[in-house]
Amino acid sequence: MSSSRKALAIVLAAGEGTRMKSDTPKVLHQVAGRSMLAHVLAAVAEAGVETIAVVVGPGREDVTAEALKRAPHAQTFVQAERLGTAHAVLAARAAIAAGCDDLLVLFADTPLVTGATIRALREALAAGAGVAALGFSAADPFGYGRLLQDEAGRLVAIREEKDASAAERAIRLCNAGLMAIDGAAAADWLGQIGNSNAKGEFYLTDIVEIARACGREARVVVADETEVLGVNDRIQLAQAEAVAQNRLRRAAMAAGVTMIAPETVFLSADTVLGRDVTIEPHVVIGPGVSIADKAVIHAFSHLEGASVGQGATIGPFARLRPGAALAEAAKVGNFVEIKNANVAKGAKVNHLTYIGDADIGANANIGAGTITCNYDGFFKYRTEIGENAFIGSNSALVAPVKIGAGAYVGSGSVVTKDVRGDALVVARGRQMEKAGWAASFRAIQAERKAAAKKS
């Protein structure tokens, strides 16, 4: 396909998705940590399509905002009434009028479509087709439009289930909805579509017969059924999630990641994993995570918005929240939470600790039960811990505070002032001992208890 061909992708995102039973628009529901609309826009970009129009419903500023966040140069158009797919496409008639070689129609609730499939549709147009429809062989074709072909395999028509004959309903090659149309003829052909059908809607699928009547050929591009899964309810959303996760896991393992029990690991669409990374069972990786070569993520850990350096180890049972940045060979152990903090090379935060809004120097050691007290109910403050510093167990560092390089903080301390480098600070109540007090206390209490029983 020539790189000089200009393409326009129209992404239909106006459906409310009432079957989702949600206040969130259907296309903003997430698969692998990314909205369905964002998945489709990413596939469009992967296919090399730069001109994008997104059709949204009235009052859907949230959908518009997501579209422009993911594709800043996209145009958005409002479909005020829902009168069928062709009507939805024509909501973007201004974009169509600007001209293109390939007009692509995609659906924002079909999040698993790939850039390769979009390119295949474009290639069919480049080879001379006037229309290319995406099809799939359905395990159960009920409810889908059928792709009718002649003896030579050319697409003759697309028949909706309600308008199909018994013989046509027996066909298993079904319409996925996605379509490519010759951009030079698109406006004319779309204008010829009527609504003489069982639902009284303007079906985009009628464009196949219109193109053929104009002497142009229509072709079918076949995709796997899982790729064209449309999401209309929470059940199908879960099915799409399962497919997406399987894709992500397989891609990660093929690139050199070890997953001991891959079916228990959940990734995000933007997860970046280096070579020789090991991920143990029951790990959840949310959006915005990068993990460098040879890092180990132990079981039952949760990461989001974090970066993990080469050879670092996380968990088990660790949580990295947004802004957590671990350098090479850093260690975060069990029941540790890190948020908006930098942990430098070789530093250790081994267990039972909260580090928030902090900078931890190289090779520092943070003892069990340590917390950075970073929030006063109104504002957040940072804690700075120098390299090679040692923070004793069960210490509270009240921010803003700085612990100098090489300093020691005695266990159980509540540190409210800066500590100089290589100093020892102990900030706790003075220990007092009374010899024999415990034995005397037990005797008195036993005597009182016995007296209470007699009375």
Q: What is the average pLDDT across 182-209? A: 92
Q: What is the pLDDT of residues 297-314, one digit of tens each?
A: 999 999 999 999 999 999
For residue 393, say whether it is annotated as part of any ligand binding site. Answer: yes
Instruction: List the chain domain ranges.
Output: 7-222, 234-425
Q: How confident is the model at residue 1 (pLDDT cuts 50, 70, 90)?
A: low
Per-position b or e across 99-138, b if 16+ CB within 10 A of its CB: ebbbbbbbbbbbbbbbeebbbbbbbbbbeebbbbbbbbeb
For residue 411, say whether it is annotated as part of any ligand binding site. Answer: yes
Closest CA to 70 of 16, 32, 34, 100: 34
Q: How confident is the model at residue 200 (pLDDT cuts 50, 70, 90)?
A: confident
User: What pLDDT is stored for residue 357 in this prediction?
Assistant: 98
Q: What backbone torsions phi and psi does residue 290 show, to the nearest 5 degrees?
A: -125, 135
Q: What is the pLDDT of residues 350-366, one digit of tens each?
A: 999 999 999 999 999 99
User: What pLDDT is stored for residue 13 in this prediction?
Assistant: 97
Active site residues: 351
Percent of the chain at pLDDT above 70?
99
Q: What is the pLDDT of residues 9-32, one digit of tens each?
A: 999 999 888 999 999 999 999 999
Locus of tokens 């612990």: 403
* Strand bridging mode 155-159 / 146-149: antiparallel
User: What pLDDT is stored for residue 146 in this prediction?
Assistant: 94
User: What pLDDT is stored for residue 431 in this prediction?
Assistant: 83
Whether 357 contacts 330, CB under 8 Å = no
Which CATH class, in words, describes the domain spanning 234-425? Answer: mainly beta
Which residue type occupies 424?
L
User: What pLDDT is stored for residue 199 in this prediction?
Assistant: 82
User: Which residues lie closer than 8 Å to 395 by C-beta, 6 or more apart?
Assistant: 367, 369, 370, 371, 409, 410, 411, 412, 413, 414, 415
Q: How confident is the model at residue 454 (pLDDT cuts 50, 70, 90)?
A: confident
Q: What is the average pLDDT across 31-46? A: 98
For residue 135, say whether it is annotated as part of any ligand binding site. Answer: no
For residue 307, say whether it is annotated as part of any ligand binding site. Answer: no
Q: What is the average pLDDT across 43-62? A: 96
**Fold entry, domain 7-222:** Spore Coat Polysaccharide Biosynthesis Protein SpsA; Chain A (3.90.550)
pLDDT above 90 (res 379): yes
pLDDT above 70 (res 186): yes
pLDDT above 70 (res 2): no
Q: How confident is the model at residue 442 (pLDDT cuts 50, 70, 90)?
A: very high
